[in-house]
Every structure is written in C-alpha cells, then in structure tokens.
Amino acid sequence: MSETKAMFQGVGVAIITPFRGGAVDTDAVGRLVEHLIGRGVRSIYPCGCTGEATSLTRDERTRVIRAALEASAGKAAVIPGTGTANTDETIELSREAIGLGADAVMVITPYSCKPTPEGQIAHYRAVADAVDRPLVLYNVPSRTGVLITADTVARLAEHPRIAAIKEASGSLDHASAIRARCDITVLSGDDSLFLPHLAVGARGIVSVAGHVAPAEMVALFEAFEAGRPAEAEAIHRRLHPVFRALFLETNPGPVKHALALLGLAPAEIRLPLVAIRPETAEAVAEALDRAGLRPAAAVRGAG
C-alpha cells in the first residue's frame, strides 16, 4: 500500500471546534486530538463542516489547525478542510494549511453557487494544481446542494494529487458507482453507512461518532479487515442509536452536547447554530447510555 493510501485507511474524525466564552479554545482542541489518537484514530480533520468552518475567521482556522498539528505530533495525519465557494480563496486556505504542516487537504464542493460537473472539475483541478499534497474531495450534497457524480469523480481521480473522496451523499449505490468507475480511495462520510461502505470497497471513514466512540469505531474497522464481519456488525448495532442521535439536529450541535456529557469538550456552539433542544439532549444522553459510552459515575451525576 502506498504511503498516501495508508494515510486515509481506517478511522478519521472530523473534529469539532471547541468554543469557550465565544472564543476558540485551542487547549480543548489539543486535548481532544490527544484523546482520539490515544484510542486508535489515524487521521484528524479540523475545520470541516463539523468544525463550523464557515463560522471561523481566517486567524481562527490557522489556530485550530496549528493546535491539531501540535497535539498530533506526527502520530496521526492532519487533513484540514480548506474548501469554500471561492476557488481562489480555497487555494489560499489550502496553501496556508500545507504551509503549517498539514498532510493533505479536504475540499468541499463549492456551496451556494452549485457548479455544474464541468465547473466542479475546473475548480478541483485548479486547487490540486496549486498544492503539493494529496487532496480529498468532499461530496456532501445535503450541505452544498449539488452532487459530485461518479463520472465526475472518475475524471477528477485522473489527477495525481486527487487521492480520496469523503462520500457523504447518503447513498450506498453512489459509493458503489464510484468504485465501479475508478480506483480513488473512498472514505465513508456517514457513520451509519461505515460498515456498508466497507463492504463495497471503502477504506476508511471521516467520522462524527468517532468523537465519542473512537475505540469502538476502530474495533469495527479492524474486525471487518480481519474477516470477522459478525463482530463488526455487532459493534455497528451497538452504536447505531448513537449514529442516529448525533444527527437529530444540525451537526455539530448534538456531538458537542455528547462531548460535554463525557467531559471532553465544551458544548458551546456559534451562531447561526444554537444549542440543541432539550428533547434532543435527552435523546443523545440516552443513546450514549444504551451504547455503554458514558461511565456509570457520569450517569449518576447527571441524574
């Protein structure tokens, strides 16, 4: 396996951006990254959708990426989200992230403007031509309003630096179509589809649930890789209520609440997002408890 492909294999986590008193809490970034790496997470994705990237200033992005890099200390790949709706700005942010030491960059399809396939190809190729690190396509039509088709992915995969795709369309059929057309590394972008995605050829995940169940997500991947599908499915079933609860409202509200319950990061979120509803908070806590992810002492303290 090439070094580039190995970078993406296994469990990655699209980390939140912790806020405290309205400001980015870089100490909490560092603690979270160390916690995840200590439980087997192989790649850290700061400043993506889960990281509320569109609500961060340029300086805040830099501080978050630097904190993630310092905490990872080379023990995990750091792959920041650098995509925007503006190609020139995306190139600038990508170059800045790489200048800080990022191992690769993840670029979301331009949002709001809804580019055609030809526009997507021109955009991604322009970014890939401008950087000297691998680039991860990020296909998430629920946020961008446009799908990267399998044919478009296949054309983009011809570029030597376009190495992987975070496939978050929610369609297993779409992931299968990509695999049928090219050899790009497919990463699941949906926790609930991680196991099915592995079955059709994905090599890893960029996870949200990995915040609260990193060791369990790693165990699922390792069981599948070792040819123990029943064990992988048992972990999937155990975590499925968590997968659902973390998306009852717009991500990252629920996972920030979950992290606060576990004492791993503050729950504070930045406008235009707001704190989750009480019924969602209750459902998140219940899902963590059903999966056995909250220590008994924490559950007693909450009651």
Q: pLDDT for 181-224, tens place per residue?
A: 999 999 999 999 999 999 999 999 999 999 999 999 999 999 99
Q: Judge whether 294 lies within some domain.
A: no
Q: What is the DSSP letter of 173?
A: H
| Mean pLDDT of all residues in 4-28 | 94
Domain of residue 164, CATH code: 3.20.20.70
The residue annotated as part of the active site, out of 45, 124, 138, 256, is 138
- Domain total in the chain: 1
Instruction: Tell me the pLDDT tens digit for each residue of 102-159.
Output: 999 999 999 999 999 999 999 999 999 999 999 999 999 999 999 999 999 999 999 9
Q: Judge whether 163 lies within some domain.
A: yes
| Mean pLDDT of all residues in 28-44 | 98
Q: Judge whether 278 lies within some domain.
A: no
Q: Judge whether 150 lies within some domain.
A: yes
Catalytic residue list contains 166: yes
Please report which confidence band the pLDDT of residue 295 belongs to, taking 50, 70 and 90 as the band edges. confident
Q: Judge whether 93 lies within some domain.
A: yes
Q: Judge whether 43 lies within some domain.
A: yes
Q: What is the DSSP letter of 81?
A: B
**Domain limits for position 165:** 3-228
Helices (H), the chain: 3-8, 26-37, 58-72, 87-100, 117-130, 141-144, 150-156, 172-181, 194-199, 214-225, 229-245, 253-261, 278-290, 296-302
What's the pTM? 0.95
Q: Judge whether 14 lies within some domain.
A: yes
Q: Write the CB contacts of 169 (distance below 8 Å, at least 6 apart in sequence).
A: 139, 140, 141, 147, 175, 189
Q: What is the pLDDT of residue 226?
A: 98
Q: Judge whether 259 lies within some domain.
A: no
Catalytic residue list contains 138: yes
CA distances from 90 to 54, 120, 157, 302 (A): 12, 13, 19, 43
